[in-house]
Amino acid sequence: MTSGADRSHEEVADLVGKLVAPEETDGAERRRLLGRLSRALSQSARKAGKSGTGRGRWLADVFMNIAPRLPIRDRATLQEHHYGLTGEQLADDLVRTATKATMAVGAVGGALAAAEFAAPPLLLSAPAQLVAETLVVAAIEVKLLAELHEVYGVQIPGNGSQRAAAYTAAWSRQRGINPLAPGSATLALGAAAKTALRNRLMRTLGRHLTTLGPFLTGAVAGGALNRAATKRLAEAVRADLRRQRALPPA
């Protein structure tokens, strides 16, 4: 029998999957999905209890459940979805799409938080919205990191869950993966990697606290900060991957 916690994790993973899907999602649908995700996360946090949510442990556990379910596309599928682009042009287009997505999530989350800032009785629900935004942005960036490895032809060994763990660990470090370097392609998240993941998620959450500004300042700040952070990640990962392997021929 599926427990309530398992059902909650399934719902969270399903909602995040919809928010990071390559299909365009309009603002109204994105707001609706973020609202549903916020409620699901609130329920999950209550079930985890105060001790479970302390110091980011619950947040990291939730994301570790999401990561293996992210829809990572192989190189052929990426080329099909991006009008036949290859090489650096394909990588550029992936980064452009991801920065647009994280900027949109930041703007929507900031607008929701700003609306609640103007209505103090509802402000208590704002943290759940920030957690929702943090998880979605992290998921978009892990997906981007994984797909950049596909574009540059850097193959990560293991099954889907193991590769997801490696990509998640790489996102925590904000670097690309060198499969030949000892310990780089981590196939399971050990204690140190889990700590790094918690720290990265908490830093991302802290960045999203800026969306609690009044009126539309939160929306503007949230979108701009997300876009800049995703772009920095992409630049670091692409630099690492270029050093490892030349792009496959077009």
What pLDDT is recorded for position 215? 46
What pLDDT is recorded for position 185? 60
Spatial separation of the C-alpha atoms in residues 207 and 219, rounded to whole Å: 13
What pLDDT is recorded for position 127? 73
Q: What is the pLDDT of residues 32-53, one digit of tens each?
A: 888 899 889 888 888 776 555 5
What pLDDT is recorded for position 97? 95
Q: Kindly state the tokens that stand for 137.
A: 């942005």
Question: Is the backbone of residue 174 left (phi > 0), alpha (psi -120 to 50) or beta?
Answer: left
Q: What is the pLDDT of residues 103-124, one digit of tens each?
A: 888 776 554 554 444 444 333 4
DSSP type of residue 33: H
Q: Residue 23, Cβ neighbours under 10 Å: how many? A: 6
Spatial separation of the C-alpha atoms in residues 40 and 233, rounded to whole Å: 28
Q: Please identify every stretch of the chain with a pLDDT value under 50, giving residue numbers as ranges.
A: 1, 111, 114-125, 215-217, 249
Q: Kindly state the tokens that stand for 84.
A: 């036949």
Whether the Cβ atoms of residue 105 and residue 218 lie closer than 8 Å to each other: no
